[in-house]
Structure formats: structure tokens, C-alpha cells
Amino acid sequence: MKFINSRALIRTDSRLQFVEMNDCIVYALATAFDLDYETAYEEVSIRMKRQLRKGVPASAVRASLVEGTNINGRTITQVIKSPTRMYRIYGNSFPRQIRLSTFVKENQHGSFLILLRDHAITLKEGVIYDNKKKVKTASLVRMVFKVD
């Protein structure tokens, strides 16, 4: 599984980038929609009502990024809420929420903005873009936005 640190990828001379905290959704939006940090920050502030140095609740992300949302010429074509797989144990089938590692293995092509528990990342062509130094691939995928 390949990983790229989006914090190092999206370098700007802006002081805003260095004083901000809890801005994983800004980095995820920037990498998913090919934006610079300042533009992504404005989009998140306007669409999701993000306040300075505060994160964005998943409910605000869900409400603002719906199918057909267009940002920088790229459109959200599909929203997958709580992706699951059917598992069969002892003759019984039941759905289980999938982990990030499983989602990456099954979706090697395309761009996805992924919400995990208290975190957001981007998956582009099988490469994970995250602003943290290490990705927890065992995290459960809460919601996925397919970007075309």
C-alpha cells in the first residue's frame, strides 16, 4: 500500500497552513479535488462552516458533499454510506463494515475522499494521501465520496 504525506505535498507560503490544527478535511479536499491549501480551506470554511483551528463534524461533511457537488471542475459522482461486505461464518451471512486496507485493495482505480472515525483522507489510483505521518489501515471506513 503506497502512502504520500499530503502535508509535504501541498506546501504553500501561507501562515494559515502552519497555525491550523484539525485540518485533515482541508488536506483531503485539496488532494481529492486538486486544490491548493488556501482554496481548499475557503471551500471547507464556506461549505462546512469550519471555524479557525477546529475540526469539522462528519455530519457537516455529509450535508455539504452530496452527489453532483462540483468543486474545481471535479464532481462527486457517488456517495457510499458505511460500506460493508458480507461475511459468512458457520453458514450464516452478515454484513460487516470494511476497513481502510480492504477498501484500498478493492478500489485501485479512481479518486475517493474517505471519512474514517475523526479523520479524513484521499485515495487516488491506489495511493493514500494523508496529512498524518502514519496511516492506520485497520480503521473502519465510515463514508466514501467518489470524485470524477
Domain that holds residue 85: 2-147
- Cα separations in angstroms, 46 against 18, 39, 43, 100: 20, 11, 5, 29
pLDDT at 97 (0 to 100): 95
**Number of domains making up the chain:** 1
Query: Degrees (nearest 5) of the Cα angle 130, 85, 142?
Result: 35
pLDDT at 52 (0 to 100): 83
Instruction: Give dist(CA 136, CA 120) in Å, integer.
Output: 12
pLDDT at 9 (0 to 100): 85
Q: Give the list of residues 6+ apart from residue 60 with CB closer than 8 angstroms, or none.
A: 48, 49, 50
pLDDT at 10 (0 to 100): 83
Say what angle helices 24-32 and 37-48 make with each other, to 10 degrees.
110
Instruction: Give dist(CA 132, CA 83) in Å, integer.
Output: 23
* Max Cα-Cα span within the chain: 58
pLDDT at 122 (0 to 100): 97
Count other C-beta atoms under 10 Å from residue 38's C-beta: 16
CB-based contact 97:141 (threshold 8 Å): yes
pLDDT at 20 (0 to 100): 86
pLDDT at 63 (0 to 100): 94
Give the residue from 65, 53, 60 showing the smallest Cα distance to 22.
53
Binned average pLDDT, 10 residues per bin, the chain of 148 residues: 88 78 93 93 93 89 94 95 92 94 95 96 96 91 96
Instruction: Give dist(CA 70, CA 74) in Å, integer.
Output: 6
pLDDT at 133 (0 to 100): 87
